[in-house]
Amino acid sequence: MIQSRLYIALLTALMLPACKSPQRKIYTSECATAIKFKKVNFADLADSISFYDKQYVQVSGKYLEGKNQSALVNDSTYTGKGETQSFWVNFTQDCPLYLMGKRIGLFETEDGEYNKISNRHMTIRGRINLEKKGHNKAYSATINEVSYLELD
């Protein structure tokens, strides 16, 4: 009896860390607080981008950053070749994003280091601008006025 209880307790202790989900981090700004955002999936936004021009949307994807790159891509179909089915993300100082409940900016961590957000899945809210297409006009559109970002 004691052995079976000990076995169950040990098994439970080993399984608990596997059940822990990664903590989501939500960053918000004081811009566009009264705006209603249209939730749209990535494929629909890419396929109907002209319909969403100048509209405020919420979309999810994988964020990639690098030299001359600040892009939201469809994490299930992105091949790394061409950006025509991805969006330039324009983070600006006009709408600084802060970790909810704290005054820690998006690009800094609690220990003062640079927050690495590349290759991470995110949900983002912003305004679509079809006229601006990012670096070398290689993207479908730009997501401006980013006021919400949720990192998985």
User: For the whole prediction, is pTM greater than 0.95?
Assistant: no
Per-residue pLDDT of the chain (152 residues; tens, 9 = 90+): 555 444 455 445 545 444 444 578 999 998 888 899 999 999 999 999 999 999 999 999 999 998 889 999 997 666 565 566 899 999 988 889 999 888 788 877 666 666 788 999 999 999 999 999 988 888 999 999 999 999 98
* First vs last C-alpha separation in the chain: 43
Is there a contact between 143 and 128 (Cβ–Cβ < 8 Å)? yes
pLDDT at 11: 47
18, 6 Cβ separation under 8 angstroms: no
DSSP state of 137: G
- Taking a C-beta distance cutoff of 8 angstroms, is the pair 100, 27 a contact? yes
Bridge partners (DSSP) listed for residue 87: 72, 141
Nearest of 136, 143, 135, 140 to residue 92 by alpha carbon: 143
| Neighbour count for residue 56 (Cβ, 10 Å) | 18
CA 16: distance to chain centroid? 28
Domains (ranges, CATH) in the chain? 22-151 (2.40.50)
CA distance 33 to 115: 24
